[in-house]
Amino acid sequence: MFKPASTAVIKWATNAGISGEAYKKGAQETTKDQSAAAIAAKPIYISTLQASFTKDSYAKGLQKSGKAGWLKGVVEKGAANFQTGVTSPGAQTKYASESGRYDSARKASDAMPRGSKGSAQNLAKVTAVVNALRAVKIA
C-alpha cells in the first residue's frame, strides 16, 4: 500500500524519536569495531568523495540547503546538540587531554625577547609558536 511522505514522516518521527535507548543499547552490545570498519572502508570513502566532487554533488547539496537551511538546522537542533556535547560526561576530560598536547608548543617563545609592537622580534616569537604547534599537530 502506498504511503505518502506526509504520512510516513509522522511514523518516522514518532518511532525514531523514542529510539534513543535502543540506539545506545545497540552500540553498547555490538561486537563490531566501528573504527576498524571505517578504516577498512577508506578506499570506498575516497572514491565516493571523488565521485561526488566530479558530479559537483558537494556544491549542489550546499546550494540546495543554502544559508537558510544551515541556519534552520543550527536553530532547531544544532544549539541543543552543541550544549549536550560540551557538557556531556568526559567532554572536559577529552578537551583537556587534546588541548594539553599543545601546552609546550604554546610556550615555545617564552624564552625569546619581546620587541616593540610589529617588530621582527615579535614576529619571530609568533613564528616559533606556529611552528611548534604545527609540529605537534602533524606528529
User: pLDDT by residue for the chain (139 residues), tens digit each?
Assistant: 777 898 888 888 888 888 999 999 999 999 999 999 999 999 999 999 999 999 999 899 999 999 999 999 999 999 999 999 999 989 989 999 999 999 999 999 999 999 999 999 999 999 999 999 999 999 9
H helical segments located in the chain: 5-17, 20-29, 34-40, 42-54, 57-73, 79-87, 91-100, 103-106, 120-138
Q: Domain coordinates of the chain in residue numbers?
A: 33-86, 100-138
